[in-house]
Amino acid sequence: MINFHPELAHIQAFAEGTCPVNLALIISAHVDMCPRCQALTMQAQEDISVKELSRTIQTPGVDVNKDLNDMMLQIMQGTDFEPIDVQPVNCPLELDGRQFALPRALARYTQKTGNWSRLVGKLWQAPVDLGQDGQANFIYMEKGGRVPEHTHKGSEFTLVIDGQFSDGLADYDCGDFTIMDSSNKHMPFSEADEGCLVFTMVDKPLHFTSGLARLLNPFSQLFFK
């Protein structure tokens, strides 16, 4: 069950097309997985359309009914319609013989996903080239895998794609969406038999806060690269 969602303000900005590109991508992937946020996004888009139509109606010299009728007539008389490809996206992510189904918004990036590499312990990472600033990765935690305790110098967006994990703050399931920043300190780990796959984006390096992991701080910009 999905318990963690984008804030309503983020959904509104996503529907308007005004939120940052990196945030829009991960919200889009969450919306692909979450019926609640699909409904909220559709409602926000409908509200935006109504407001825009209302502005048009109130514009002097504009005959809305005539414009709509002309548009509908052109559509009905058109003969050069292109077929719409409604085939489902089927670009699974693979790791060690196992396949993970991805939400539509992320499936198109499978060809831009690098090879898996093992991080510390039972952690695996595959970098994703989004063609923009910041780092994006698929992170897989095997059962018993954990990321050392850390906080953030910037923002970290995370979407659970498969399985479950906890971080000392909450328990997260498939489809859950989180944003962490410098006010959060956590240690993600998975005890699920199937492990946990997440998609994560960071705009600045992590800052490790406990034990020997603190020795990684001078190199933290490479940790999820």
Q: Which helix (H) or strand (E) holds 202?
A: strand 196-202
Structural domains of the chain ordered from first start: 8-77 (1.10.10), 93-222 (2.60.120.10)
Amino acid at 113: T
Pairwise CA distance, residues 150 & 162, whole Å = 23
Place of tokens 């059962």: 143
Which tokens is 86 given?
């409604």
Which tokens is 23 given?
């945030």
Give percent of the chain above pLDDT 90: 51
Give the mean pLDDT of 120-136. 84
Distance of CA 176 to the CA centre of its chain: 10
More confident residue, 182 or 11: 11
More confident residue, 44 or 84: 44
Q: Is the CB of residue 187 less than 8 Å from the CB of residue 201?
A: no
Pairwise CA distance, residues 83 & 199, whole Å = 33
Span 55-71, pLDDT tens digits:
665 556 555 455 545 54
Pairwise CA distance, residues 30 & 159, whole Å = 7
7 — pLDDT class (breaks 50, 70, 90): very high
Span 26-43, pLDDT tens digits:
999 999 999 999 999 999
Global pTM reads: 0.79
Closest CA to 23 of 153, 151, 162, 201: 201
pLDDT at 124: 93
Q: Is the CB of residue 88 less than 8 Å from the CB of residue 97?
A: no
Q: Strands 171-172, 93-95: parallel, antiparallel or unpaired by DSSP? A: unpaired
Which tokens is 80 given?
């050069």
Is the model's pLDDT at 87 over the cut of 70? no
Angle ∠(169,204,218) on CA atoms, nearest 5: 95
Give the mean pLDDT of 194-214. 77
More confident residue, 209 or 10: 10
- Torsions phi, psi for 159 (to 5 deg): -125, 125
Closest CA to 34 of 175, 161, 179, 199: 175
Is the model's pLDDT at 15 over the cut of 90? yes
